[in-house]
């Protein structure tokens, strides 16, 4: 029988919030172990955020070179070497893994590679990747389990061995025709990237518009941008069946408002949502309850239904962003040190890295209407921001909501450097400053942030 080893804290999963919590506690002198199945540092540096943005950047370079003539720069024929694209991404991932291993060594947190399963309220059994088992007993347990890509129960889809974001970011060849199932962040980012690499791309989404959680004007502008680059977008389209095998030849039968049609492609990418990694690890053995969405049930301090057990990140139902998981870590860290922080009312920004990117924070216009709050809406086309005239990147618009107390309640931008401009607005929102502060601020010319002067200058006076 495996002898139990006692730890002050055990973290299952080495994602953003979990690893920072482990490093923090270990540096404070506690005995801490982190159990990870495969991805050292979690999904963000290995298979999600950073690798995707790495390849998206390569796609942007390809697009810029292909359009260099518009800027007076003469080039020859442009081609993309996907092997080099992937190798550049792999080199980045390798360096990030090395960084994480160095942090584990420097902090003293122990990294254990294997599959964890709860066998009692405070006991974790590990099937080690190198063979054998270990049994850890934890005074405090932290679950940082993450999520995985959902494969919808469409006849023939699983048998077609579709790509998820993981496989798509490892392709060292160029699909002739990529069919993308899903019109959310992952699907749209990768769709545009592969279109720019040289693939033909078709997006299929069951909803009436892309990005269903965004305002209609945002959805329509994103659609216009993608279609202008040659991407086919099919909306209100239900996939009835899939035949063939991704990477060779696939046929998707689609039901649309105009009738049934068949799309033939070489590859199919599923980007239709995420499923929490909460099954099969013995949560019930520790009295840890789940929500009806399959996430771990937590309170606003991220405490689970079991004593001395916390959940972090996507598996806890937190927004599916690395920066949300990082804030989960800060909440737990501060509360363990006697603080009183919660997830309630967090001002959560996010950015979709199509080109130009979409950034948003706070309330949307639709949410404001639904709440009945009397908001003033300010909107400005990006071509009104003089910086875009110098770069010819005039697509998109910027929009803000101002509440009855003259504070900024929401902000959305589709345009060059949207994420950086959003950070300026976020700072004003965090400080509860009136919109007039940005309206009247002296902002450097010509910058993208300078557009905030003009945007808030259009706010109607009370």
Residue 103 CA to residue 121 CA, distance in Å, equals: 29
With respect to CATH, is domain 4-148+275-336 assigned 2.20.25.240?
no
Average of per-residue pLDDT values in the chain: 97
Q: What is the DSSP string of 402-431?
A: E-TTSBEEEEEEESTTHHHHHHHHHHHHHT
Is there a contact between 389 and 416 (Cβ–Cβ < 8 Å)?
no
* Radius of gyration for the chain, computed over Cα atoms and rounded to the nearest angstrom: 24
Mean pLDDT value across residues 98-118:
98
Closest CA to 228 of 396, 68, 82, 389: 396
DSSP structural state of residue 3: P
The three-class DSSP label of residue 311 is strand
Alpha helices in 214-344 (DSSP H): 216-228, 322-336
Does the pLDDT of residue 1 top 90, yes or no?
no
Write down how long the chain is: 462
Query: 129-159: per-residue pLDDT in tens?
Result: 999 999 999 999 999 999 999 999 999 999 9
Does the pLDDT of residue 210 top 80, yes or no?
yes
Pick the catalytic residue from 63, 148, 177, 445.
445
Q: Do domains 4-148+275-336 and 356-457 have the same CATH topology?
A: no
Looking at domain 158-272, which CATH architecture does it have?
3-Layer(bba) Sandwich (3.50)
Mean pLDDT value across residues 209-223:
97
Structure tokens at 452: 């905030």
DSSP structural state of residue 383: G
Mean pLDDT value across residues 97-124:
97
Residue 214 CA to residue 217 CA, distance in Å, equals: 8
Q: Is 24 among the catalytic positions?
A: no
Residue 56 CA to residue 50 CA, distance in Å, equals: 10
Distances (CA, A) of 110 to 11, 20, 278, 366, 407: 10, 13, 23, 47, 46
Does the pLDDT of residue 294 top 80, yes or no?
yes
The pLDDT-based confidence of 79 (bands split at 50, 70, 90) is very high
Whether cis (ω within 30° of 0) applies to the bond prior to 446 is yes
Q: 156: left (phi > 0), else alpha (psi -120 to 50), else beta?
A: left
Structure tokens at 11: 């973290």
Q: 345: left (phi > 0), else alpha (psi -120 to 50), else beta?
A: left
Backbone angles phi, psi at 319, to 5 degrees: -50, 145
Residue 371, class by beta-carbon neighbours within 10 Å (0-12 exposed, 13-18 middle, 19+ buried)?
A: exposed
Is there a contact between 359 and 422 (Cβ–Cβ < 8 Å)?
yes
pLDDT at 2: 76
The pLDDT-based confidence of 194 (bands split at 50, 70, 90) is very high
Query: 175-185: per-residue pLDDT in tens?
Result: 999 999 999 99
Burial 316-349 (b: 16+ CB within 10 A, else e): bbbbbbbebbbbbbebbbebeeeeebebeeeebb
The pLDDT-based confidence of 461 (bands split at 50, 70, 90) is confident
Give me the residue spans of the domains in the chain: 4-148+275-336, 158-272, 356-457
Q: 406: left (phi > 0), else alpha (psi -120 to 50), else beta?
A: left
Mean pLDDT value across residues 304-313:
98
For 313-333, the three-class secondary structure string (H helix, E strand, C coil) is HHHHCCCCCHHHHHHHHHHHH
Mean pLDDT value across residues 43-55:
97
Burial 80-117 (b: 16+ CB within 10 A, else e): bebeebbeebeebbeebeeebeebbeebbbbbbebbbb
The three-class DSSP label of residue 180 is strand
Strand 232-234 vs strand 133-143: parallel, antiparallel, or unpaired? unpaired
Mean pLDDT value across residues 88-101:
98
CATH class belonging to 356-457:
alpha beta
Structure tokens at 177: 């025709």
Does the pLDDT of residue 17 top 80, yes or no?
yes
């Amino acid at each position: 029988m495996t002898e139990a080893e006692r730890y002050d804290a055990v973290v299952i999963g080495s994602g953003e919030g979990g690893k920072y919590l482990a490093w923090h506690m270990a540096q404070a002198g506690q005995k801490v172990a982190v159990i990870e199945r495969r991805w050292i540092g979690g999904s963000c540096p290995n298979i999600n955020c950073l690798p995707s943005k790495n390849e998206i950047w390569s796609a942007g370079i390809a697009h810029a070179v292909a359009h260099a003539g518009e800027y007076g720069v003469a080039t020859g024929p442009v081609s993309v070497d996907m092997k080099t694209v992937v190798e550049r991404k792999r080199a980045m991932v390798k360096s990030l893994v090395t960084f994480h291993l160095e942090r584990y060594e420097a902090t003293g947190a122990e990294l254990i590679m294997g599959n964890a399963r709860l066998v009692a309220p405070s006991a974790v059994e590990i099937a080690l990747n190198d063979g054998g088992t270990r049994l850890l007993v934890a005074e405090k347990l932290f679950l940082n389990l993450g999520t995985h890509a959902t494969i919808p129960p469409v006849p023939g889809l699983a048998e077609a061995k579709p790509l998820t974001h993981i496989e798509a970011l490892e392709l060292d060849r160029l699909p002739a025709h990529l069919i993308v199932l899903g019109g959310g962040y992952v699907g749209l980012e990768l769709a545009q990237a592969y279109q720019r690499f040289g693939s033909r791309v078709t997006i299929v989404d069951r909803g009436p518009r892309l990005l269903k959680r965004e305002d209609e004007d945002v959805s329509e502008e994103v659609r216009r941008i993608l279609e202008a680059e040659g991407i086919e977008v099919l909306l209100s389209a239900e996939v009835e069946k899939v035949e063939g095998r991704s990477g060779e030849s696939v046929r998707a039968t689609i039901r649309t408002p105009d009738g049934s049609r068949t799309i033939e492609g070489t590859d199919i990418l599923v980007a239709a949502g995420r499923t929490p990694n909460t099954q099969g690890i013995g949560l019930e053995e520790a009295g840890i309850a789940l929500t009806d969405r399959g996430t771990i049930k937590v309170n606003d301090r991220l405490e689970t239904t079991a004593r001395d057990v916390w959940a972090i990140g996507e598996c806890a139902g937190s927004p599916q962003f690395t920066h949300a998981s990082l804030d989960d870590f800060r909440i737990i860290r501060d509360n363990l040190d006697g603080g009183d922080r919660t997830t309630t009312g967090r001002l959560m920004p996010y950015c979709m890295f199509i080109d130009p990117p979409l950034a948003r924070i706070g309330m949307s216009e639709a949410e404001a209407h639904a709440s009945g709050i009397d908001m003033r809406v300010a909107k400005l086309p990006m071509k009104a921001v003089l910086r875009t005239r110098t770069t010819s990147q005039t697509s998109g618009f910027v929009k803000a909501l101002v509440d009855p107390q003259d504070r900024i309640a929401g902000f959305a931008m589709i345009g060059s450097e949207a994420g950086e401009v959003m950070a300026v607005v976020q700072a004003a929102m965090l400080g509860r400053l009136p919109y007039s502060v940005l309206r009247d601020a002296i902002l450097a010319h010509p910058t993208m942030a300078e557009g905030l002067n003009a945007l808030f200058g259009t706010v109607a006076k009370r």
